[in-house]
A and B are shown apart, each in its own frame.
Chain A
Amino acid sequence: GQNIDQPTEMTATEGAIVQINCTYQTSGFNGLFWYQQHAGEAPTFLSYNVLDGLEEKGRFSSFLSRSKGYSYLLLKELQMKDSASYLCAVRIGGNKLTFGGGTRVLVKP
């Protein structure tokens, strides 16, 4: 079976940094996605990693270690609007994405 784990909830202060971890055990691996989902809205694409290492995109960075089955999403200079759920998803061959349960991030003033 497929197993993708991420913490359920995290709280951080505006302006701080938060790191959301994702570990996976899947029958295949063809890349890892991070999506952001605000309450009541659709998920929106944040980042994609297929090779080991760090991908940086403005305030957001994503890291992947394939040998460890591990990824993290780093959110810097947190803003109130970053309060959302962050979904880790593994691409298992073709176009199929398997999602973790999501991490709800609450940013406090």
Chain B
Amino acid sequence: DTAVSQTPKYLVTQMGNDKSIKCEQNLGHDTMYWYKQDSKKFLKIMFSYNNKELIINETVPNRFSPKSPDKAHLNLHINSLELGDSAVYFCASSQPRADSSYNEQFFGPGTRLTVL
């Protein structure tokens, strides 16, 4: 039933560790995204994939590596976690339209990452 799902919902880990967050959408959308929402609630785009191809790659440390095994999944792997990585990470998906009109993004429930 869930449109965009993420696991885990909460992730608490030590500095220096490597962790992954998984995202799946069952909406049949071609485009998926990763966003980071910090403590000040700013929601910032990190990456976007369209049909498994990377199309948006914002200024993100290369410790962050997205992977899209198929168009329904977009995972985020983070190496050498730092304190500043603590945030809520949202996955989203959308379906581009042929006429380039708007395509609302559907967000997952978020993964709250806490780095100690």
Q: Which residues of A are interface residues toward B (Cβ below 8 A)?
A: 31, 33, 41-45, 48, 50, 85, 87, 89, 91, 94-99, 101-102
Query: Would you give 13 A-B contacts (Cβ < 8 Å), ordered by A?
Result: A41-B109, A43-B90, A43-B107, A44-B107, A50-B101, A87-B43, A89-B43, A94-B55, A95-B50, A95-B55, A95-B94, A96-B45, A97-B45
Any A CB within 8 A of the CB of B44 = yes
Q: B94 contacts which chain A residues (CB < 8 A)?
A: 95
Which 3 A/B pairs are nearest by Cβ-Cβ distance?
A42-B107, A45-B104, A99-B43
**Is B43 a contact partner of A95 (Cβ separation < 8 A)?**
no
* Residues in chain A near residue B43, CB distance under 8 A: 43, 87, 89, 99, 102
Q: How far is the CA of A97 from the CA of B42 in the complex (A)?
A: 12
Verify A42–B90 contact, CB threshold 8 A: yes
The A/B interface has a contact count, at CB < 8 Å, of 53
Instruction: Give the interface of B toward A (CB within 8 A).
Output: 4, 31, 33, 40-45, 48, 50, 55-56, 90, 94, 96, 101-110
With the chains together, A47 CA to B78 CA distance in Å?
33
Per a CB cutoff under 8 Å, which of B96, B101, B103, B108 touches A42? B108
> Which among A33, A42, A50, A102 has the greatest number of chain B C-beta atoms within 10 A?
A42
Q: Are A95 and B103 in contact (CB under 8 A)?
A: yes
Question: Which residues in B have their C-beta under 8 angstroms from that of A43?
Answer: 43, 90, 107
Residues of B within 8 A of A91 (CB): 102
A96 to B40 CA separation, bound complex (whole angstroms): 21
Query: How far is the CB of B101 from the nearest CB of chain A, in Å?
Result: 8
Q: A52 to nearest B CB, angstroms?
A: 15
Known A85-B41, A94-B55; further 17 A-B contacts with Cβ < 8 A:
A41-B109, A42-B4, A42-B90, A42-B108, A42-B110, A43-B107, A45-B105, A45-B106, A48-B104, A87-B43, A89-B43, A95-B94, A95-B105, A99-B44, A101-B41, A102-B41, A102-B42
Q: With A42-B90, A43-B90 given, is the CB distance from A97 to B105 under 8 Å?
A: yes
Chain A minimum-CB-distance residue to B31: A95
